[in-house]
Amino acid sequence: MKFILPLLISVFITGCTLTNINQSEKSSQEESASALAFKKEKAAIALAKKKEKAAIAIAKKKEYNEFLTRYNLKKEHVYSNLNDTIISIAEQLFDSKSNKKNPSRVILTSFVDLNDLENTSTFGRLVSESMFNELHIRKFLVTDFRGKENVSVNKDGEFHITRDVEKLKDIVDAVEYILVGTYVKFENKSLLINARILDSISGNVFSSARVVYQPKDCSLFDICEKKNIVKSKISRTLKPQRTPRKIKPENKTPIMIIEDN
């Protein structure tokens, strides 16, 4: 009898140990299977995102090509860089292959909003200012009529050009041509820019240019597509029915029913 009890205890301990080992192995297998499933799921998600990204790129390229075809535009006349945009305008206006004689004297005006020809913006002024350089390097005689009679000096600096009509010079040398330009919001978060050089007397068009500026950041000149935001309104408030039991304060919040417009 004294040998049976230790034997039973030994068998019991061995059985428990084997049970623990089996449970540990089972748990380890389950963890491995779970890790493998997670890895497969992660790979599937990454593949789906890659395919979605490729599909978006293809769709954008198709939309872009349709955009060019619809308006008979050339790829070289669509730019995402403002400097390249300005250079393209200048090259079209002052085509060296043209048989036209370069105008002897030109003045520049701010590029204006096509929908409001008496309104411009920082963008319109920036393009116009940049054209000074483009005309100058092409040997045109450019007159800046914004000069004052003198140079004013104060603690902020020295100033000569102005938009104050009262301070402008009374006499400006005669000019033959005027460079004008317009811009308007266009498709695909872009701006369509047109420019012309006009005869100052007859208004005849000496040359013209057209480009599409499509900045990488559409918010730069406020040309992002506006999303329609549907506002919701509260039509009525219903209170829950009272019950005999004691209700906690946090459960007394009214139920809000909201209807979309």
In order along its 261 residues, the chain shows pLDDT tens digits of 555 655 555 655 555 555 555 566 666 767 777 777 888 888 888 888 887 777 776 766 666 566 666 656 666 568 888 999 999 999 998 875 454 565 568 899 999 999 999 999 989 999 999 999 998 888 888 888 888 888 889 898 998 888 888 888 877 777 888 999 999 988 778 899 999 999 888 999 989 999 999 888 877 776 676 655 555 444 444 444 555 555 455 555 454 555 554
Which three-class secondary structure state does DSSP give residue 206?
Answer: strand
Pure H helices in 94-204: 122-137
Tell whether 120 and 149 lie within a shared domain.
yes
| Contact present, 181 and 175 (Cβ < 8 Å) | no
- Is 261 a member of any domain? no
Q: Please say whether the beta carbons of 199 and 106 come within 8 A.
A: no
Q: Where are the alpha helices (DSSP H) in 71-97?
A: 82-93
Query: Is residue 85 domain-shared with residue 17, that is, in the same domain?
Result: no
Domain residues for the domain of 142 are 76-221
- Give SS3 for 121: coil
At 195 the pLDDT is 95
Residues 64, 181, 197, 200: what is their CA dihedral angle, to the nearest 10 degrees?
160
Distance CA 258, CA 31 (A): 46
Same domain, 195 and 105: yes
* Cα 184 to Cα 71, 85, 210, distances in angstroms: 15, 15, 12
- Tokens 């054209």 belong to 131
- Residue 173, pLDDT score: 74
Quick one: which of 178, 227, 193, 210 has its CA closest to 72? 210
Total domains in the fold of the chain = 2
Q: Does the residue 172 lie in any domain?
A: yes
β-sheet bridge partners, residue 178: 107, 198
Q: What are phi and psi of 244, to 5 degrees?
A: -60, -30
Two tokens, residue 141 = 């005689």
pLDDT score at 259: 53
Instruction: State the pLDDT at residue 163.
Output: 85
Q: Are residues 53 and 84 in the same domain?
A: no
Domain with 89 in it: what CATH number? Answer: 3.40.50.10610
Task: Give the pair of three-digit tokens for residue 244.
Answer: 């005999």
Pair 207, 196: CB distance under 8 Å: yes
pLDDT at 117: 93
CB of 213 closer than 8 Å to CB of 193: yes
Residue-level pLDDT at 170: 76
- Helix/strand/coil for 80: coil
Which of 45, 70, 95 is the last residue in one of the domains?
70
Distances, alpha carbon 226 to alpha carbons 66, 67, 70, 123, in Å: 22, 19, 22, 20
